[in-house]
Chains A and B, each alone.
Chain A
């Protein structure tokens, strides 16, 4: 149960199978509210799979079977009766490759509020769009061309647009799967600063392959290997004195 300790999400004994193949083995992890938690580990170790458990995006993959329990503010999200549509309004997601809809910038951001009925007037809608774009640090660059096609933006701008789109529905948790891997260093820096800013309002889970990025943006880190959660703790601890040999080898660049 979510106590006053500030635990936002409690994952217990979570396993994921793709067909016969088990991709995630009995992972248990508590996620603190308004913190950035980084998932690191070698390719194929199950980071994305685990991340997708938090908004039931594994439902979309026909072969995927999820077991175990994940509680968001004490409510079980793997409950068959729970509507994933409502869950995803609370747990937003930003993908590895920017995926703006082929619509205008404005419509991209307004999409979520519209489908969830969060806005009732044109005025409100404009406010939400402006507010979200400001939080995503994109407002200054696009305020005078809100009705241009979103696909005409640069990669970094597109990714910030996707972040704006996600936070426009006012989620509580934000899942980010390698949000900077398709971006250049400057765009990456901008997004990292943005994450530190967003952390004041949202609980953020981020998958990253960059150790520096994990060290820069996160307070908590979880290290995965071959579908198992090997070690987790504060980022400072994990990076300065990892208890596990595998973790140490990975963060010092010996495996990966």
Chain B
């Protein structure tokens, strides 16, 4: 029994049993059909698949649920013990102790502390018991399911239909999980954001022009709820941060939109097949460069470069500037726009090009007067998606835009963006329910709403293009 206590070995056992169930069920129906001289309702393999699915699914369901569900219980138990052992420790330090206990139990670290060692022992034993119990329950569930399914296998059983139904449900569940997790993420964002707005005015947040979240953390955390609002807790006026985001995104789009669009037009309408075969994959490789690489290019190459040019022109360019971050972000987005636009342009039917050329259009007239107008909704969709990428982009701005929240439209100054602020607010040694950290969720939900609206608009636009050529 002990061998099958680890997750992977148990999973392997389940698969082996399921395969055996498949083989035996298939044989059972073949033999039964031969003995009774009847033709089974479905092909023999469907009986195997039907019973095999019954062997597999309940067992895995129990396995996953149990694995995910039991851990918090055990942790909670140890936590109670920890509180008893260290009655006057703060919550943050208790979490630290819990982590130590877990690591000792897993054999990752060593310790001389008697109390901790004792707790680690208890913890390890609890884990062991839990996994033994898990193995028994999973195998029991499996046994019941296999017996049920195997006994039902007979030539009269509509195995194909049952299996298809099962399959359809499985797909549905997969889709549902994807949606549920997304909804869950949004909900958790929302809950924290609501907590923030219960302590900080909605209007003050959205229309405030002063952003300085930094106040001493721990004291605020201790009494965040009864702290008087807006007083010593820092100010959270989002406008300067939003302005920074929009400034950087605008610069990025000013770079990416014309270059990306022209590159797409060139590739789709003018490039020979040979050039296209080289340029298109190259651009796609560019799209695969990790953003952190663009980030240090912006911080170490672009920013000093713009600063040097500025000095020559007698302009004061700050070491971290919206211009540097925006320009590099634009370069990052070029392949995104060109690749999407290229798809949209090549989706315009050849018959329209023939029609335009047949009327005596030049290639340029054909492109500007027929192809681009026809592709317009799709192009708008591509641009909206690109904008939503620009405002959600984090790494480049963290590295190159700066952190000072200034309400400015001057691209030569350093600005901060929504994403940068979220990173700043949530990294480092932070008490989790201070107003400061909660404000990150308010920013997050704002950013999420903005990109969501942009994406919906983009999809709607692209769908309009699709409808025209159905």
Judge if A95 is at the interface, Cβ distance under 8 Å.
yes
Judge if A99 is at the interface, Cβ distance under 8 Å.
yes
Given A101-B374, A102-B374, A115-B365, verify A57-B354 contact (CB < 8 Å): yes
A88 touches B369 (CB 8 A): no
Judge if B468 is at the interface, Cβ distance under 8 Å.
yes
Q: Is the interface of B mostly helix, strand, loop or mixed?
A: helix
In whole angstroms, how far apart are the Cα atoms of A23 and B418 in the complex? 63
Closest 6 CB pairs of A and B: A88-B360, A93-B358, A99-B351, A89-B360, A99-B355, A112-B359
Q: Provide the residues of chain A in CB contact with B351, threshold 8 Å.
A: 95, 97, 99
Within 8 A of B (CB), among A138-153: 151
Judge if A225 is at the interface, Cβ distance under 8 Å.
no
Q: Provide the residues of chain B in CB contact with A100, threshold 8 Å.
A: 355
Q: Provide the residues of chain A in CB contact with B358, threshold 8 Å.
A: 55, 57, 88, 92-93, 95, 166
Judge if A65 is at the interface, Cβ distance under 8 Å.
no
A102 touches B468 (CB 8 A): yes
Q: Provide the residues of chain B in CB contact with A88, threshold 8 Å.
A: 357-360
Q: Which residue in B273, B353, B369, B374 is a CB contact (below 8 Å) of A111?
A: B369
Q: Provide the residues of chain B in CB contact with A84, threshold 8 Å.
A: 360
- Kindly provide the distance from the CB of B268 to the nearest chain A CB, expressed in whole angstroms: 15
Within 8 A of A (CB), among B250-279: 272-273
In whole angstroms, how far apart are the Cα atoms of A231 and B24 in the complex? 72
Judge if A103 is at the interface, Cβ distance under 8 Å.
yes
Apart from the given pairs A111-B370, A116-B360, A166-B358, 14 other A-B contacts in the complex at a CB distance below 8 Å: A57-B354, A62-B273, A87-B360, A88-B360, A89-B360, A92-B359, A93-B359, A95-B351, A95-B354, A97-B351, A99-B349, A99-B354, A162-B355, A169-B359
Within 8 A of A (CB), among B360-404: 360-362, 365, 369-370, 373-374
Q: Looking across the interface, which residue of chain B has its beta carbon closest to that of A90?
A: B360
Q: Could you mark each residue 47-73 of chain A with 1 if its beta carbon is under 8 Å from any beta carbon of chain B, else 0?
A: 000000001010010100000000000
Judge if A81 is at the interface, Cβ distance under 8 Å.
no
Q: Looking across the interface, which residue of chain A has its beta carbon closest to that of B376?
A: A102
Within 8 A of A (CB), among B180-211: none
Within 8 A of A (CB), among B76-94: none
Q: Looking across the interface, which residue of chain A has its beta carbon closest to that of B273?
A: A62
Judge if B62 is at the interface, Cβ distance under 8 Å.
no
Judge if A86 is at the interface, Cβ distance under 8 Å.
yes
- Kindly provide the distance from the CB of A196 to the nearest chain B CB, expressed in whole angstroms: 23
Judge if B450 is at the interface, Cβ distance under 8 Å.
no
B361 touches A85 (CB 8 A): yes
A85 touches B369 (CB 8 A): no
In whole angstroms, how far apart are the Cα atoms of A127 and B96 in the complex? 85
Q: Provide the residues of chain A in CB contact with B365, threshold 8 Å.
A: 115
In whole angstroms, how far apart are the Cα atoms of A62 and B272 in the complex? 9
How large, as a class, is the contact surface on chain B? 20 to 34
Q: Provide the residues of chain B in CB contact with A101, threshold 8 Å.
A: 352, 355-356, 370, 373-374
Judge if A165 is at the interface, Cβ distance under 8 Å.
yes
Given A62-B273, A115-B369, verify A57-B357 contact (CB < 8 Å): yes
B352 touches A99 (CB 8 A): yes
Q: Looking across the interface, which residue of chain A has its beta carbon closest to that of B351?
A: A99
Q: Looking across the interface, which residue of chain B has its beta carbon closest to that of A108?
A: B355
- Kindly provide the distance from the CB of B179 to the nearest chain A CB, expressed in whole angstroms: 35
Q: Looking across the interface, which residue of chain B has its beta carbon closest to that of A97?
A: B351
Q: Provide the residues of chain A in CB contact with B273, threshold 8 Å.
A: 62
Q: Provide the residues of chain A in CB contact with B374, threshold 8 Å.
A: 101-102
Within 8 A of A (CB), among B144-161: none
A151 touches B468 (CB 8 A): yes
In whole angstroms, how far apart are the Cα atoms of A145 and B360 in the complex? 27
In whole angstroms, how far apart are the Cα atoms of A165 and B373 in the complex? 18
Q: Looking across the interface, which residue of chain A has its beta carbon closest to that of B356?
A: A101
Q: Provide the residues of chain B in CB contact with A166, threshold 8 Å.
A: 358-359
Q: Looking across the interface, which residue of chain B has its beta carbon closest to that of A55?
A: B358
Q: List 22 A-B contacts (CB under 8 A).
A: A57-B358, A60-B353, A62-B273, A84-B360, A85-B362, A88-B357, A89-B360, A92-B359, A95-B358, A99-B352, A99-B354, A101-B356, A102-B352, A102-B374, A103-B373, A112-B359, A112-B360, A115-B365, A165-B355, A165-B359, A166-B358, A169-B359
In whole angstroms, how far apart are the Cα atoms of A112 and B358 in the complex? 10
- Kindly provide the distance from the CB of B358 to the nearest chain A CB, expressed in whole angstroms: 4
The interface centre, meaning the residue of B355, B370, B374 with most chain A CB atoms within 10 A of its CB, is: B355
In whole angstroms, how far apart are the Cα atoms of A170 and B362 in the complex? 18
Within 8 A of B (CB), among A145-195: 151, 162, 165-166, 169
Within 8 A of A (CB), among B45-72: none
- Kindly provide the distance from the CB of A190 to the nearest chain B CB, expressed in whole angstroms: 21
Within 8 A of B (CB), among A94-146: 95, 97, 99-103, 111-112, 115-116
Q: Provide the residues of chain A in CB contact with B369, threshold 8 Å.
A: 111, 115
Q: Provide the residues of chain A in CB contact with B356, threshold 8 Å.
A: 101, 111
Q: Provide the residues of chain B in CB contact with A92, threshold 8 Å.
A: 358-359
Q: Provide the residues of chain A in CB contact with B352, threshold 8 Å.
A: 99, 101-102
A115 touches B355 (CB 8 A): no
B373 touches A115 (CB 8 A): no
- Kindly provide the distance from the CB of B295 to the nearest chain A CB, expressed in whole angstroms: 42
Q: Provide the residues of chain B in CB contact with A165, threshold 8 Å.
A: 355, 359
Q: Looking across the interface, which residue of chain B has its beta carbon closest to that of A151?
A: B468
Q: Looking across the interface, which residue of chain B has its beta carbon closest to that of A60?
A: B357
- Kindly provide the distance from the CB of B337 to the nearest chain A CB, expressed in whole angstroms: 22
Q: Looking across the interface, which residue of chain B has its beta carbon closest to that of A162?
A: B355
In whole angstroms, how far apart are the Cα atoms of A101 and B365 in the complex? 13
In whole angstroms, how far apart are the Cα atoms of A93 and B349 in the complex? 17
In whole angstroms, how far apart are the Cα atoms of A194 and B1 in the complex? 88
Q: Provide the residues of chain B in CB contact with A111, threshold 8 Å.
A: 356, 359, 369-370
- Kindly provide the distance from the CB of A147 to the nearest chain B CB, expressed in whole angstroms: 15
Q: Provide the residues of chain A in CB contact with B354, threshold 8 Å.
A: 57, 60, 93, 95, 99
In whole angstroms, how far apart are the Cα atoms of A84 and B357 in the complex? 9
Q: Could you mark each residue 323-353 of chain B with 1 if its beta carbon is under 8 Å from any beta carbon of chain A, else 0?
A: 0000000000000000000000000010111
Q: Provide the residues of chain B in CB contact with A89, threshold 8 Å.
A: 359-360
Q: Provide the residues of chain A in CB contact with B370, threshold 8 Å.
A: 101, 111
- Kindly provide the distance from the CB of A110 to the nearest chain B CB, expressed in whole angstroms: 11
A85 touches B468 (CB 8 A): no
